[in-house]
A and B are shown apart, each in its own frame.
Chain A
């Protein structure tokens, strides 16, 4: 009879599942964390703290920040109003070409934002495919306007919401909707009172992602809407220009944007990153 292998006491007391990461993998993970942390630490290190307050409260910074928040909230709202029905369609209705439609609607997620801006320009500009009619009939065109900023941001941010909400719809237990119908609820009432509450976590996560993307949008904004303080110069644009003229200002503005985004992510981390099993709410 062979003797069993000697097991060290530490190995014996370690339960599988609470094991520590093997050293090489741990090292890689630490490098990854450093990779993410370093740029932010660099900013904090180089920041001109003595001028921070005056930059923060300067009219230029306040205008850019106000514009950024205004536009990003509007974009998120539009993304929700149009994105939820789209997500519902993609999740529930099996129509021919559905895969293609889904790819089309999420294309702007993988597109370089500048490409999106250029494309929007030729679609909605004064001489654009659709924009020319808008201009002819109303004398209004989207480029160089705040509305144009919102359009550009919505274009790049909506796919994030659509994907999150479509996943939520798919995971939802549709039997509750059937129960509601048998109780006398119309389709619309069921959608409002049963479906929407059920997808709320996915909807919130998608909206937060879309908002964050809209807030950080640069390439499409500057290409489609242009750059003018107070009207189209959002924070990312202001930072880009400040980097040429006054790098100190760029650092402070960047830190403001980082602080806001970080704050929102931390506040919603449980729903956003935790995920877990969706309660059939």
Chain B
């Protein structure tokens, strides 16, 4: 092949790739018009969704995702789990998210006050806090007050992360001052610190302790000082799959997702 013809073929290939890329978004708009035109009981949902979700939702969402795809075979869901405060900052910085599921209202508010949400937030689950200790409770923690005992290594989330914010509320309600040895970016890191035996205790969601029941125990936090964590979800304004986003969020509030969430210890909204 001569040099010019090689260049020509390469250019053709490039054009083809671009056309294919444009083609898929064309498909979406055609799906939208199709869905709007025909009022079908189950709307045809397509797209590759990027869902930014709080760390505490990891186990449950990893089941909900495939369930959603089973119900909507043309839709795929990919999750990004981290502390809600980190996630919302990423979205504000322009990260390509389609749906944001936060562990508290405060971080969802950061999205809505910046007018970055596509849909109105909907609460789809509730949670409570618990104290997590290594299996066997070696330091004999019985309640929130024990966290302040000298020599106890307590790990908490950073204050702007939902679990950190909630934990501070609990500590304030219990009138206990705790100096943590570390402040983590998300609740998963608190769990790890405790399950590896490095920390003596942490404050996490009850759902988290349930997930690592073989490596950790929970110490209850009485309801009168505990918080009710509300999990809102909303689509992101710049998402290119608004109808798929809406389908996912309504799936979250549907019976199948609710069963999965309850299995993992969440409460109904």
Q: Show the binding face of A for B, using Cβ within 8 Å.
A: 121, 125-127, 141, 143-144, 225-228, 231-232, 241, 243-245
Contact = CB atoms under 8 A, between A and B. Distances in A.
B196 interface: yes
A244 B182 contact: no
By DSSP majority rule, is chain B's interface helix, strand, loop, or mixed?
A: loop
Contacts of A231: 181
A244 B160 contact: yes
Given A226-B155, A241-B158, A121 B198 contact: yes
A121 B192 CA distance: 12
Contact of B182 (A121, A127, A226, A243): A226
4 A-B pairs closest in CB distance: A226-B182, A144-B181, A127-B197, A244-B89
Given A227-B158, A231-B181, 5 more contacts: A125-B197, A226-B181, A227-B183, A243-B89, A244-B160
Interface string B178-198: 001111110000000100111
Contacts of B160: 244-245
Interface of B: 85-86, 89, 153, 155, 158, 160, 180-185, 193, 196-199
B251 to A, nearest CB: 30
B183 A143 contact: no
Contacts of A228: 180-183
A227 B182 contact: yes
22 contacts: A125-B197, A125-B198, A126-B196, A127-B197, A143-B198, A144-B153, A144-B155, A144-B181, A144-B182, A144-B199, A225-B182, A226-B183, A226-B184, A226-B193, A227-B182, A227-B183, A227-B184, A231-B181, A241-B185, A244-B85, A244-B86, A245-B160
Contacts of B89: 243-244
A127 B89 CA distance: 35
Contacts of A141: 198
Contacts of B182: 144, 225-228, 232
A227 B89 CA distance: 20
A220 to B, nearest CB: 14
Nearest to A245: B160
A48 to B, nearest CB: 17
Contacts of A121: 196, 198
B198 A127 contact: yes
Contacts of B181: 144, 226, 228, 231
Contacts of A244: 85-86, 89, 160
Interface centre among B160, B184, B196 (most CB of A within 10 A): B196
Nearest to A145: B181
Interface centre among B155, B183, B197, B198 (most CB of A within 10 A): B198
B183 A144 contact: no
Contact of B196 (A125, A144, A232, A245): A125
Nearest to B153: A144
Contacts of B155: 144, 226
Given A227-B182, A228-B183, A126 B197 contact: yes
Contacts of B193: 226
B225 to A, nearest CB: 24
A226 to B, nearest CB: 3
A243 B196 CA distance: 29
A125 B199 CA distance: 10
A92 B43 CA distance: 75
B121 to A, nearest CB: 20
A225 B183 CA distance: 11
Contacts of B198: 121, 125-127, 141, 143-144
